[in-house]
Amino acid sequence: MADHIPDTPPIGRMYCPGCEPAVDPMREILDVRWCERHMPQGAGLDDTMAGATTSVSGSGEAGGEDNRRWCEVLHRRRV
């Protein structure tokens, strides 16, 4: 067994949707890589409407608080 596992070579070709708008992704495997000229800016009207919120709970997993409540219900001790 080898200590080093070589990287898997890419199977798709690099593709910028702005440079090649007529490419059919059903005909070949494409690896989307935006060039500097066509890179999405992230400052459009839809981007300003999307917000990000942060909530801190005592769990390290997504939805942990709800999961904890279900575990209490399902695994409670019977007296």
pLDDT digits (tens, 9 = 90+) for 60-73: 556 667 777 877 88
The residue type found at 13 is R
Per DSSP, helices labelled H in the chain are 45-49, 64-74
pLDDT tens-digit map of 5-46: 778 887 889 999 999 999 998 999 999 999 999 988 777 777
Rounded Cα distance, 78 and 17, in Å: 60
Cβ neighbors of 60 (< 8 A, separation 6 or more) are: none
In terms of pLDDT, which residue wins out, 48 or 41? Answer: 41
Has this prediction a pTM greater than 0.85?
Answer: no
